[in-house]
């Protein structure tokens, strides 16, 4: 029964992806044939028009996938809708530039821009309706998993986090890991899935084997060693299975490609955001006549120190009396302008210059202050592992975590990136970062004490 249900879910997602793709493609085909094609000096005939539509569809698939717009039934409606909207904006912008280059008549440019703008607005509206309906229907057809939680002695909020997605998970019962194993097995049989929450490794392995035998899906938080082993390479040299964990990071060719991409994107970013930087600089200086930029010492690869550049979002000498601490949810040190630029991530834009200089990469672990990094290491010694790659403007922890995500969970995200690092992953994380800007929960501060956790 479980297998059949999972296959039905996969089929539903495939059909949903096809529907979303066809919606944007058909809308472009209509606009192309109705308005855009007639603007050409020599309008495309059937084959040429079909080629344009196919090109649009391929680009749309790439960006919708990159922004997470196809995650029907997986992510929140808002996340999928934002992903589709961002994909539509980029695809229509690229096609608009392409069309303008083909037409070549300046007097026709305003008409082309208006046509693509209307197409974009139509995409946003229709895709939101389609995404909302497909997600609503998914939740009606496929009820959430009824889950058994097997909990260890340490208290954490993993069950609370899963409880926020009651459309997907319902923790119906909790059993402590001290219960007799026969009772645990008996309870496993009554539920769709099992959540292993902070259970000793030996018991976790026994539970995993039972769940495998019964075809039950299992959720558990990985340890650092699990993440390191996950990306190991299979070797078939002997008559015994052998895994190789290289732990070497990027190859020389990848490092050259990554640095080249960093330089190109940093230059493009500086050029495109220069008007924004000028306006923000004037606003910050006008508010309290203080400095526009804020420089702070941070760690990058192999604990090399550098001065990160950000727009100042706090009052002058914000840490004069408090010392180094993270911003809290309602931190009175943050200025009104600072709240705006922090919420929209505009305060991070000057780091393009750090990337251009080579102190940072576009993608990598968040650069931490030395004193805060050392404080983390006192409680989590493995926190040093994340510095095996260059610090980044965005990364796994920045995309999938929050500002107030716990230290250990941030480390796990960063270690996933360290182990999976590739140019393709970097490009995907850069795209997802644009979606994160529109997600309010990603900028939540730490608790009111401002202490690291």
Q: Give me the mean pLDDT over the 173-185 stretch.
A: 94
Q: Give me the mean pLDDT over the 27-33 stretch.
A: 94
The percent of residues in the chain predicted with pLDDT above 90, rounded, is: 61
In 103-192, beta strands by DSSP E = 145-151, 169-176
* pLDDT reported for residue 48: 85
- Per-residue pLDDT tens over the stretch 89-127: 999 999 999 988 887 677 778 888 999 999 999 999 999
Q: Are 72 and 134 in contact (CB under 8 A)?
A: yes
**Lowest-pLDDT range, 12-21, 233-242, 263-272?**
233-242
* pLDDT reported for residue 445: 47
Residue 142: closest CA among 269, 248, 4, 9: 9
Q: Are 204 and 226 in contact (CB under 8 A)?
A: no
- Per-residue pLDDT tens over the stretch 359-389: 999 999 999 999 999 999 998 889 999 999 9
* pLDDT reported for residue 363: 96
Residue 326 pLDDT > 70: no
* pLDDT reported for residue 452: 38
* pLDDT reported for residue 155: 66
Residue 348: closest CA among 444, 266, 431: 266
What interhelical angle do 2-31 and 46-66 show, nearest 10? 130
Mean pLDDT, the chain, whole residue set: 89
* pLDDT reported for residue 437: 80
């Amino acid at each position: 029964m479980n297998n059949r249900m999972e296959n039905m879910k996969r089929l539903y997602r495939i059909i949903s992806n096809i529907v979303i793709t066809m919606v944007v493609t058909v809308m472009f085909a209509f606009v192309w044939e109705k308005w855009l094609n007639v603007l050409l000096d020599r309008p495309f005939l059937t084959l040429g028009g079909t080629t344009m539509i196919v090109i649009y569809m391929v680009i749309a698939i790439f960006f919708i996938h990159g922004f997470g717009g196809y995650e029907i039934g997986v992510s929140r409606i808002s996340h999928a809708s934002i992903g589709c909207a961002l994909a539509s904006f980029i695809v229509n912008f690229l096609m608009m530039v392409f069309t303008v280059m083909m037409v070549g008549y300046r007097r026709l440019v305003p008409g082309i821009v208006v046509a693509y703008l209307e197409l974009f607005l139509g995409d946003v509206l229709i895709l939101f309706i389609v995404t909302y309906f497909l997600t609503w229907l998914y939740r009606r057809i496929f009820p959430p998993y009824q889950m058994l939680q097997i909990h260890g002695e340490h208290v954490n909020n993993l069950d609370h986090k899963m409880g926020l997605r009651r459309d997907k998970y319902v923790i119906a019962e909790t059993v402590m890991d001290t219960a007799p194993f026969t009772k645990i097995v008996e309870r496993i049989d009554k539920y769709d899935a099992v959540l292993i929450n902070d259970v000793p490794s030996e018991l976790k392995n026994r539970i995993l084997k039972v769940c495998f035998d019964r075809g039950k899906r299992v959720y558990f938080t990985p340890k650092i060693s699990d993440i390191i082993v996950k990306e190991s390479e299979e070797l078939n040299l002997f008559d015994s299975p052998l895994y190789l964990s290289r732990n070497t990071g990027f190859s020389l060719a990848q490092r050259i490609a990554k640095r080249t991409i960093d330089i190109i994107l940093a230059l493009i970013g500086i050029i495109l955001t220069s008007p924004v930087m000028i306006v923000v600089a004037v606003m910050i200086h006008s508010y309290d006549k203080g400095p526009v930029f804020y420089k702070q010492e941070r760690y990058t690869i192999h604990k090399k120190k550098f001065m990160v550049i950000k727009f100042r979002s706090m009052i002058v000498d914000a840490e004069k009396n408090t010392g180094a601490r993270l911003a809290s949810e309602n931190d009175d040190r943050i200025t009104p302008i600072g709240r705006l630029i922090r919420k929209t991530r505009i305060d991070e834009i000057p780091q393009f210059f750090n990337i251009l200089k080579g102190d940072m990469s576009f993608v990598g672990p968040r650069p931490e202050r030395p004193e805060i990094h050392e404080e983390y290491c006192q409680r989590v010694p493995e926190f040093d592992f994340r510095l095996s790659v260059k610090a980044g403007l965005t990364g796994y922890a920045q995309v999938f975590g929050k500002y107030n995500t716990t230290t250990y969970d941030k480390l796990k995200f960063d270690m996933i990136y360290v182990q999976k690092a590739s140019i393709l992953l970097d490009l995907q994380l850069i795209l997802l970062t644009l979606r994160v800007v529109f997600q309010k929960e990603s900028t939540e501060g730490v608790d009111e004490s401002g202490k690291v956790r």
